[in-house]
Structure 1
Amino acid sequence: MIVKDEEKFLPECLDSVCGIVDEIIIVDTGSRDRTKEIAQKYTSKIYDFPWCDDFSAARNYSFEQATQEYIMWLDADDILLPEDQEKLKKLKESLPPKREVVMMDYYLSFDSAGIPLVLSRRHRLVRRDKKLKWIGIVHEYIDVAGAEVCFANVAVAHRRQGSHAERNLRIIEQWIASGGRLEGRLLLHYGSELADISRLEEAAVQLNRFLLQPGNALSDCVLACIKLADCYEKMGLKEKKLETLLRSFQYDTPQSEVCCAIGGCFEERGQWETAIYWYRQALQTAEELVLGFMENRSFRTWLPHCRLCICYAKLGNLEKADWHNEQALQYLPQDPQLLANRSKFNNLLRPQT
């Protein structure tokens, strides 16, 4: 783990794994709080690393301190929930030695019922003797080229909310100022961070540059299109938004998030039947999680059902509107607007005699 000023989150993180892993390595990049004092309760392997605005450099240093057969990495604001602690124990006992990289789900947020809502997938466990390296000054990732990768049904849950956009943007812009090249995935991250702090025109330029760059991962291109379309929406460029969403189909099959956004474009125009088509497409997607790509499950569960309820009601088809409202209620059973809709549909379709 690499840490800095994590006294709030570190105990729960380490409590969730300390009885499972064989060693805990903490690399501190300049804490001013009680982080290292807390870490000492769990391990003697605590190292200082002078922060140099390069996350992969710190991660690689942490990997160099490891001594066991496999290395698993976490952030201080990650935990393994009890169910996943048991799964990790079983994985530790049964993982074949030839497995070089293990990919796991990464839960980024949960709904009110505690069900994962936004999730991604990361390379989480690697064989130490492969000497795999981290890449990227921000949004770093492990270069697993040539390694055998498998998936394990173990998930890591992330707890911290908020954005690191300003910090990441500062690091990237310092990199550029020092002569670093803005290319590859870093260009995508630069455009995304600019978008997140509402420097929209600059973000659009960088995201378009990324899409014109050869050799991009197709999933990265889809993400760039989603980000760019959102920029155009906030800039009031509705036609460009729709063009960019449709552009994403050059790179991959339609994603539920894209289908919902396209449906919203036609809903705004009052083109109810076309909007219905795209919301139905969102429901029909069965997406396999792509490494590093965040999926918000609402885009293929309750959200399109809510929009379909509205669109069918606008067309006067109250039976279908009612049906989709009921489908949405299966995901959000306490939602006040959906419950109010149920009452209205009952009065209209099933009046008391």
Structure 2
Amino acid sequence: MSLSLCAIVKNEAANLSQCLQSVQGVVDQMVILDTGSTDDTVAIAQSFGAEVQHFSWNHSFADARNQAMKYVTGDWVLVLDADEALNPLIIPALKKAIEQPQAIVINLIRQEIGAAQSPYSLVSRLFRRHPEVYFSRPYHAMVDDSVAALLQREPQWQVINLPEVAILHYGYEPGTIASRDKLQKARQTMEGFLANHPTDPYVCAKLGALYGQMGNGDQELALLLRGLQNAQDNPAVLYELHYHLGIAYSRLNSRLQNPSLAESHYRAALQQPILDRLKLGAHNNLGSLLLAQGKLQEAKICFETVICFDPQIAIAHFNLGMTSKAMGQFLEAIEHYQQAIQLQPNYAEAYQNLGVVWLKLGRVGESLAAFRQAIDLHQQHNPSEADRLRRGLQDMGFSI
């Protein structure tokens, strides 16, 4: 089976080489659709032997991806963005998957490098080239809608999930989203789609979560609840809706005085029959709620579940440190705080709580060293917290 890479780009000179290097020797064709680059993007693509086509951007990712598909010749299509790379460890499984005669889509796990606590998503980025498989939705462009319609007519096709990480996405690294002003553009595009599809549960989940990220809590809650009313039996969308409702209700707890709402939605999210790796955000957030309620053993199980699936998530180690500290397991708490710091060296809160535990153990020198590091880090991003911590230590008789 031949395989083609298909990507749309604009001013991606900083990222494109890494993307194309990751598929060299794996794909038989590289199709790059440029939407108006003014940097070296086109030259870089051509240096890898890619076929570069051009498209006038019309604010629809679906239109652009469908235009790129017109130049694809492979039996299968792999879709990547310039800030993504193919994980080399997945290549044998990927090649084996596309040999399955009934497969129409191979869903891939994408790891969001730099995401704090929900680092995995499932994306339909590998699919058979078929005249009735095409992209829809202007912002979160995907082939899922067309594939669902095709399966109604031709039920012999199968959608397969590869359980290991296939795509590494670097677009969530600190500063990347803000530098591209993605939030406002995403909001405008999704609101346009919602106007014509007011009950679509997928856009309700995505736009509702975006409203929450932008501080529009009332719009967030209303849209997520609307999506939940119309989600029916789509486990992936139901997970997102329940997960983001958990976040929304957690944020509103002080006003609503009903923390059980957040907990119930996180538990509903965890009940969805999707890959366990995709549920780490709900495990972590549920653990935080349980920790706040003093349900320490239950909270510990949640955080340990996260670390079991991905030991590189700093916030899970920090939360497990907080839980261990509350349980009086100080040496275990220190171990997890130190692990969080190793993974995230600028983790001020981890240094601060490490200082607390060292002090409880009477290790004043180690405690003050951790507090000094916490103050220095807080000073960079949260000076008021640095001042508060400094004054607290001075009140205890320590000079920082």
Q: Distance in 2 between matches of 1:252 and 1:117?
A: 13
1:279, CA displacement in angstroms?
Answer: 0.8
Alignment of 1:222-237 (within 5 A): 222-235=239-252, 236-237=254-255
1:240-285 alpha-carbon deviations (Å, 9 max, x no partner): 45413313434542955445434434544xx42x2x0431330464
1:155–1:338 Cα change, 3 Å: farther
1:300, CA displacement in angstroms?
Answer: 9.1
> Retained in 1: the 8 A contact 2:231–2:237?
no
From the two aligned structures, give the one with the greater helix fraction: 2
Secondary structure of the residue that 2:263 maps to in structure 1? helix
> Retained in 2: the 8 A contact 1:263–1:277?
no
Aligned equivalent of 1:2: 8
Considering Cα pairs closer than 8 Å and 6+ residues apart, tell me whether 1 or 2 has the greater RCO. Answer: 1
1:134-183 alpha-carbon deviations (Å, 9 max, x no partner): 23222222224433224264622112234322111111233456x45452
> Retained in 1: the 8 A contact 2:291–2:323?
no
Partner letter of residue 38 of structure 2?
Answer: R
1:214-246 alpha-carbon deviations (Å, 9 max, x no partner): 425233233223323333444443634541331
Alignment of 1:1-353 (within 5 A): 1-43=7-49, 45-80=51-86, 84-85=87-88, 87-88=90-91, 91-92=94-95, 95-98=98-101, 99-109=103-113, 118-129=119-130, 131-143=132-144, 144-145=147-148, 146=151, 147-148=157-158, 149-151=160-162, 153=164, 155-160=166-171, 161=173, 162-163=176-177, 164-176=182-194, 179=196, 181-215=198-232, 217-235=234-252, 236-237=254-255, 239-250=257-268, 252-253=270-271, 257-265=281-289, 267-268=291-292, 271-272=293-294, 274=295, 276-283=296-303, 285=305, 298=313, 301-312=316-327, 318=328, 320-327=329-336, 329=338, 332-333=341-342, 336-337=351-352, 340=355, 343-344=358-359, 347=362
Q: Over aligned residues, Cα RMSD in angstroms?
A: 3.7
> Retained in 2: the 8 A contact 1:13–1:77?
yes
Identity between Structure 1 and Structure 2 (%): 20
Q: Distance in 2 between matches of 1:264 and 1:94?
A: 38
| Deviating more after overlay: 198-207 vs 248-257 | 248-257
The unaligned stretches of length 5 or more in structure 1 are 290-294, 313-317, 349-353
1:95–1:152 Cα change, 3 Å: farther
The unaligned stretches of length 5 or more in structure 2 are 1-6, 152-156, 273-278, 364-400
| Deviating more after overlay: 42-51 vs 69-78 | 42-51
Secondary structure of the residue that 1:322 maps to in structure 2? helix
Using structure 1 for the length normalisation, give the TM-score.
0.76
